[in-house]
Structure 1
Amino acid sequence: MHGLDDGTWIRRFHPRPDSGVRLVCLPHAGGSASFFFPLSRAMPPFVEVLAVQYPGRQERRGEPAVDSVPELADRVFAALAPWADRPLALFGHSLGGMVAFEVARRFEREPGTAAALLFASACRAPSVPRHAEKGWVHLKDDAGLVEELVSLGGTDPSLFADDEFLSMVLPTVRADYRAAERYVCEPGEPLRCPVVALTGDSDPRVGDADVKAWEEATEDSFDLLSFPGGHFYLNGRHREVARAVSERLRACAGEPPPPGG
């Protein structure tokens, strides 16, 4: 792996120096590293969470957002170099799932490295075409962009009445949607690591077939986990998700099965 992170890309909310595995969490369009704070807190001691902070948000809002999934993956992959002294698994939510898949590909192209597992959350499989059923979101005006965000939930609706907030976040959200909607999966070999797809059972944007198609993305094992909720099913279910994810990370962390397991 090449390149070093200068501290801008990776957030480690709960350092666990004795952990056996690191879980790299990549956020959704418009999302930030702090989205994963509750998930990080809920993880057992053998899992350390590294939350990725994309440019263009929070303390990085002065930087231009990256509107390309491959470029985001290149930069995240480089930023992970200092953290690869123990197994790395990837957890991507929505846009983050696409980025996580591309990061996993980059691991497998680098001799001697590989992601331990890929968790794809609320995300269509790479093989599923990105159709513009109601028009590309990134081409809509600000009102259309806000309408999309409101429909998905996950953001306090009162914030959308704050003009200052909108002026600050909408350019980044638009760039993120541009990255997601223009993403085309280049042909290549399936991943060699296991893939676990996670979905909300009432997600308005990601259907069952979209999620099940993740099985085609790996030559290893595939699992599908469904949780009550919509696109942001993770909100309010951090402990439940942390338990499911950590159980699948036990083996690569060198942890024994739980009592009675």
Structure 2
Amino acid sequence: MRLILLPHAGGGSGFFRDWPGELPDGIETWAVQYPGRERRASEPLPARLSDVVTGATSEILPLLDRPTGFFGHSMGATIGYEVLRRLERDHPTAVAHAAHLFVSARQAPHQPRRKLIHALPDDEFAEVLRRHGGTHDAVLDDAELWELFQPILRNDYRMAETHRPTPVTPPLDLDITALTGDDDPSVDVGAAARWADAGRGEFAHHRLPGGHFFLVPHLPEVATTVAHRLRRSAGRRRAE
């Protein structure tokens, strides 16, 4: 089996560096790297989320020769959903190997965000990032680092917040698991539970202690859940 990992706004593939060690043998991980960061730092930032989806879809397509799960955190959940929609539309044979979509810290596509933050002044924008907990204090407190990373963060939030999601009807032909932190200030639990509308397979909603980045301290538990549910979904795919 394979597991495609999609990071959050401002994040890179390095966010998932510890995942291979937490998952059992037999689940091969591939982390998507967005343009403009880490090893793709020399590339221009994408203008639209659909551009990220197009690039990610072309890279993921050759990997869909076996049961595959998609795990997206925050913005990555939206990208994972849109990649699956793109595959469903353009590559119906390949998408048949997509077994499970895991959506972490994200409201369902048809549930609007409660507050848009990409246009906030710098100090307010930085404070929201600090509350979310996914940006190192060193970046937020150092003027040079902030000047370097703020355009990436703001561009990602702009793309995510202005993106018009693909409708959830008809639902995707796969299982979906939503994961949320009980103290996440940016994701309403009810809005996350509406991911059930986006798939016609089994749905589960796992709530864990913590905020927007609850999965960092709870990685072993999250990885166990992902492995169990991916294996279950892949077993049904093979039986079909």
Question: Normalising to structure 1: TM-score of the pair?
Answer: 0.84
Secondary structure, aligned partner of 2:207 = strand
Shift of 1:158: 3.0
Aligned partners of 1:154 and 1:235 also within 8 Å: no
- Mind listing any 5+ residue stretches in structure 2 that lack a counterpart? none
Q: Which residue of 1 aligns with 2:53?
A: 73
Q: Which residue of 2 aligns with 1:13?
A: none
Q: Which residue of 2 aligns with 1:247?
A: 228
Aligned partners of 1:69 and 1:98 also within 8 Å: no
Aligned partners of 1:190 and 1:217 also within 8 Å: yes
Q: Deviations over 1:207-254 (max 9, x none)?
A: 111111101111111110111111000112111111010001224555
Aligned partners of 2:175 and 2:233 also within 8 Å: no
The worse-fitting range, judged by mean Cα deviation, of 33-42 and 239-248 is 33-42
Q: Which residue of 2 aligns with 1:41?
A: 21
Aligned partners of 2:23 and 2:227 also within 8 Å: yes
The worse-fitting range, judged by mean Cα deviation, of 156-165 and 212-221 is 156-165
Shift of 1:47: 0.8
Q: Which residue of 2 aligns with 1:228?
A: 209
Q: Deviations over 1:51-78 (max 9, x none)?
A: 1110111222221222422221111010
Give me the whole-angstrom Cα distance separating, in 2, the residues matched to 1:210 and 1:67: 27
Q: CA RMSD, aligned part only?
A: 1.6
Is 2:134 the partner of 1:154?
yes
Is 2:9 the partner of 1:26?
no
Shift of 1:26: 0.5
Is 2:101 the partner of 1:118?
yes
Q: Which residue of 1 aligns with 2:195?
A: 214
Structure that is richer in helix per residue: 2
Q: Deviations over 1:138-163 (max 9, x none)?
A: 11232222111101012332332222
Give me the whole-angstrom Cα distance separating, in 1, the residues matched to 2:124 and 2:38: 23
The worse-fitting range, judged by mean Cα deviation, of 160-169 and 238-247 is 160-169
Aligned partners of 2:4 and 2:68 also within 8 Å: yes
Is 2:42 the partner of 1:62?
yes
- Mind listing any 5+ residue stretches in structure 1 that lack a counterpart? 1-20, 256-261
Shift of 1:183: 1.6
Aligned partners of 2:85 and 2:166 also within 8 Å: no
Give me the whole-angstrom Cα distance separating, in 2, the residues matched to 1:152 and 1:251: 32
Report how many aligned residue pairs link the two structures.
232
Q: Which residue of 1 aligns with 2:73?
A: 93
Give me the whole-angstrom Cα distance separating, in 1, the residues matched to 2:188 and 2:113: 13
Shift of 1:192: 0.7
- Residues 163-242 of structure 1 aligned to structure 2 (within 5 Å): 163-187=143-167, 188-242=169-223
Q: Which residue of 2 aligns with 1:10?
A: none
Secondary structure, aligned partner of 1:235 = coil
Give me the whole-angstrom Cα distance separating, in 2, the residues matched to 1:100 and 1:43: 20
